């Protein structure tokens, strides 16, 4: 158990809809990262938050947005969903100090868009 939690585990929705994925980082971690993994693909970095502020952006679509709250949990919002958005979405967190590059992943949310 990495200590990173994600909800829900599975999500099934229709095209055009909007969903929210939630992530709680490990206790004490200030950084949260979101990744997308399509079928049999590697992980694509979407966005990073650090202590409530956006820190880095990857290949995140304009239809997607995220935020990190004062209690450090984060939400990823996906809107106007398309079939191609079906994927596993992972959240990761990392700590300060010398091991700040080590990201610990949650169990993921499997999104299916029908």
Partner 1 sequence: GQQLNQSPQSMFIQEGEDVSMNCTSSSIFNTWLWYKQDPGEGPVLLIALYKAGELTSNGRLTAQFGITRKDSFLNISASIPSDVGIYFCAGRDPHNFGNEKLTFGTGTRLTIIP
- List residues binding partner 1 (CB under 8 A): 2, 4, 31, 33, 35, 41-45, 48, 55-56, 58, 88, 90, 92, 94, 98-108, 110
Closer CB to partner 1, 75 or 107, in the complex = 107
Closer CB to partner 1, 15 or 56, in the complex = 56
Question: What H or E segment, with its residue span, contains residue 109?
Answer: strand 109-113
CB of 83 to partner 1, least distance (A): 20
Closer CB to partner 1, 55 or 73, in the complex = 55
Closer CB to partner 1, 3 or 16, in the complex = 3
Q: How far apart are CA 35 and CA 42, in angstroms?
A: 10
CB 52 within 8 A of CB 66: no
CB of 23 to partner 1, least distance (A): 11
CB of 74 to partner 1, least distance (A): 15
- DSSP annotation string for 20-66: EEEEEPPTT--EEEEEEE-TT---EEEEEEETTEEEEE-S--TTEEE
CB 31 within 8 A of CB 50: yes
CB of 16 to partner 1, least distance (A): 26
Q: How far apart are CA 93 and CA 24, in angstroms?
A: 9
């Amino acid at each position: 158990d990495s200590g990173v939690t994600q909800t829900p585990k599975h999500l099934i929705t229709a095209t055009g809809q909007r969903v929210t994925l939630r992530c709680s980082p490990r206790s004490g971690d200030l950084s949260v990262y979101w990744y997308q993994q399509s079928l049999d693909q590697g992980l694509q970095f979407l966005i990073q938050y650090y202590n409530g502020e956006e820190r880095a952006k990857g290949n995140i679509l304009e239809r997607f947005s995220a935020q990190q709250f004062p209690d450090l949990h984060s939400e990823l919002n996906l809107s106007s969903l398309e079939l191609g958005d079906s994927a596993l979405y992972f959240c990761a967190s990392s700590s300060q100090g010398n091991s700040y590059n080590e990201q610990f992943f949650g169990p993921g949310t499997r999104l299916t868009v029908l």
